[in-house]
Amino acid sequence: MRGGQGLPPLAAVVMAAAVTAAVGFWWRVDRQAGTPPASAPSVAANVSGQPASALIPKPAFEKLTGLWQRPDGGYLIEIRSVGPDGEMDASYFNPRPINVAKAEANQDGATINVFIELRDRNYPGSKYHLQYDPVFDRLTGTYYQAVQKETYEVEFVRMR
């Protein structure tokens, strides 16, 4: 450095790299903003290998959390949480706990679907296929009773 003028060579290189990176980032973001959305969902993966769509929170699933009761009996579903991928942390009671083998939610357009499979004594694969009704804040659908091999129309109303 002579007479206090200019920057040391390393500082100049670092500054030039930072400016180039900032301009490149701005150009990419600006270009993406003007690009029409793709017709098919993205299958890009993040570092963990999960699809990018699995990382986007699904606020519609939050409506499912709570305690739900079937009015025709003491059957309860407690949904503690629903992950962005639809995996639910759920319990089932009649009135004692029954093992939940699988519990998941998915969204088909504006419709939120709930699937719960029970695997326990007297519940060898009984299944609920439900839909969330936002107008009446209830879950409606069918219950397949595996022992009797019969399907019933059911509904659950929110208790909390």
**pLDDT by 10s per residue, the chain, length 160:** 444 555 566 555 555 554 454 444 444 434 444 444 333 333 333 344 545 444 444 778 999 999 999 999 889 999 999 999 999 999 999 999 999 999 999 999 999 999 999 999 999 999 999 999 999 999 999 999 999 999 999 999 999 9
The answer to pTM > 0.85 is: no
Please report whether residue 4 resides in a domain. Answer: no
3-state DSSP of the chain: CECCECCCHHHHHHHHHHHHHHHHHHHHHHHHHCCCCCCCCCCCECCCCCEHHHHCCCHHHHHHCEEEECCCCCCEEEEEEECCCCEEEEEEECCCEECEEEEEEEEECCEEEEEEEEEECCEEEEEEEEEEECCCCEEEEEEEECCCCEEEEEEEEECC
Residue 154 lies in a domain: yes
Domain that holds residue 129: 57-158
Q: How far apart are CA 28 and CA 11, in angstroms?
A: 26
Q: Partners of 103 in the beta sheet?
A: 116
56 φ, ψ to 5°?
-80, 120
CATH code for the domain of 64: 2.40.128.30
Task: Domain count for the chain, please give it.
Answer: 1
**Residue 9 located in a structural domain:** no
